[in-house]
Amino acid sequence: MHPAVFLSLPDLRCSLLLLVTWVFTPVTTEITSLDTENIDEILNNADVALVNFYADWCRFSQMLHPIFEEASDVIKEEFPNENQVVFARVDCDQHSDIAQRYRISKYPTLKLFRNGMMMKREYRGQRSVKALADYIRQQKSNPIQEIRDLAEITTLDRSKRNIIGYFEQKDSDNYRVFERVANILHDDCAFLSAFGDVSKPERYSGDNIIYKPPGHSAPDMVYLGAMTNFDVTYNWIQDKCVPLVREITFENGEELTEEGLPFLILFHMKEDTESLEIFQNEVARQLISEKGTINFLHADCDKFRHPLLHIQKTPADCPVIAIDSFRHMYVFGNFKDVLIPGKLKQFVFDLHSGKLHREFHHGPDPTDIAPGEQAQDVASSPPESSFQKLAPSEYRYTLLRDRDEL
């Protein structure tokens, strides 16, 4: 029999304190540091990964570190499996090649990845533990609404772009590809699905995907590609979900300005869908080849009164077409002139050639003056950019680049 061991009162208190500290100290998860050796493997194996691109000398990065770590701890308790959710970080000073690969232009930048694919929309919300945790919870929620009765199709919100998948069963390669695409594009389209007997009337030729465009006049479109081919399926759905002419709002303005492309904008009253349709058709007809050089947008005249005032217009003048180069704004002539073949295209070409900027400062180009007409020096200054104010703020980020003047 072993003799009893008695602790002195100070030792007993110390032991109890250590035990209580051990029991009540929360378990913290270490943020995964990414480098050129491990980044692809970690991101490719993660269902969802939130990556903080930072620099140690950036004060906003320093402020985010403890918040990011605490949010990781909160989410790890809810999604404990290693690859369900990964919080990671990249030291952009140490790994400038990774920063260039993902086009990091400001610190800190929070980018979301799904199975290694970077999502177009980065996190731009509030930098708090709750906001970050809520964002990840939203990303982990099911983006597809299940249809229990085909009659529900008649009550869809037709102001949205709806993608509907009809499948024989949920446990199938076809549905897994559809689900993966929905996880990526759910911010741009509403995704719905039906299975088994519910979907049977729509599966006369097997599983299929239908696109229902906004409104009630445009016909449905059927996906004809291979259902198990992710790339083909994704490209088809993305083409339907992300329109050529996008609406700019105060919510997505920062994201659009950071794409770095000038804006060609139609200002129109919300109820004026006719002018919007004309603009969309002419952009598709005249400017499809310019898609990578300029953003095609439309804006609500009432909500964007201030930019209109910059070009000496009011909502009463709408519809109005203008270019914002992030330095200056330039107004297209009469809206009806958009129907003149090549007129809108020339307006964009004049931006890229510098002609719009020259003419505002020095008057018409000599080649545009009619024979016998006296050239006049009409110096002026174009209105300053209005949408540049929606760009990432220096009070929230450390910005790394300036745009060239146009």
* Residue 196 falls in which region: left (phi positive, over 0), alpha (psi -120 to 50) or beta: left
Grouping H, G, I as helix, E, B as strand and the rest as coil, residue 264 is strand
Structure tokens at 115: 């199975």
Can you give the pLDDT of all 406 residues of the chain as single tens digits?
555 545 455 554 545 444 444 444 444 567 999 999 999 999 999 999 999 999 999 999 999 999 999 999 999 999 999 889 999 999 999 999 999 999 898 999 999 999 999 988 889 999 999 999 999 999 999 999 999 999 999 999 988 999 999 999 999 999 999 999 999 999 899 999 999 999 999 999 899 999 999 888 889 999 999 999 999 999 999 999 988 999 999 888 888 888 888 999 999 999 999 999 999 999 999 999 898 899 999 999 999 998 899 899 999 999 999 999 888 899 999 999 999 999 999 999 999 998 887 776 655 655 554 555 554 444 445 677 767 667 677 778 887 754 333 4
Q: Does 13 fall in a domain?
A: no
Note whether 157 and 136 are same-domain residues.
no
Please state, in angstroms and rounded to a whole number, the distance separating the CA atoms of residues 53 and 106.
9
The CATH number given to whatever domain includes residue 290 is 3.40.30.10
Grouping H, G, I as helix, E, B as strand and the rest as coil, residue 354 is coil
Note whether 120 and 258 are same-domain residues.
no
| pLDDT at residue 147, as a whole number | 96
Note whether 284 and 212 are same-domain residues.
no
Note whether 90 and 154 are same-domain residues.
no
How far, in whole angstroms, is CA 216 from its chain's centroid? 27
| pLDDT at residue 400, as a whole number | 76
Note whether 343 and 203 are same-domain residues.
no
Q: Does 230 fall in a domain?
A: yes
Note whether 260 and 354 are same-domain residues.
yes
For the entire predicted model, the pTM comes to 0.74
Q: Does 19 fall in a domain?
A: no
Q: Does 373 fall in a domain?
A: no
Q: Does 10 fall in a domain?
A: no
| pLDDT at residue 57, as a whole number | 94
Backbone angles phi, psi at 202, to 5 degrees: -100, 5
Spell out a b/e string for 152-163, using b for 16 or more CB atoms within 10 Å of the CB, else e.
eeeeeeeeebbb
Q: Does 303 fall in a domain?
A: yes
Q: Does 180 fall in a domain?
A: yes
Please state, in angstroms and rounded to a whole number, the distance separating the CA atoms of residues 130 and 135.
8
| pLDDT at residue 366, as a whole number | 56
Task: Count the domains in the chain.
Answer: 3
Note whether 320 and 292 are same-domain residues.
yes
Note whether 255 and 387 are same-domain residues.
yes
| pLDDT at residue 11, as a whole number | 54
Note whether 213 and 331 are same-domain residues.
no
Note whether 133 and 264 are same-domain residues.
no
Note whether 217 and 281 are same-domain residues.
no
Tell me the residue range of the domain where 154 lies: 145-241
Note whether 359 and 250 are same-domain residues.
yes
Among 241, 271, 291, the domain-final residue is 241
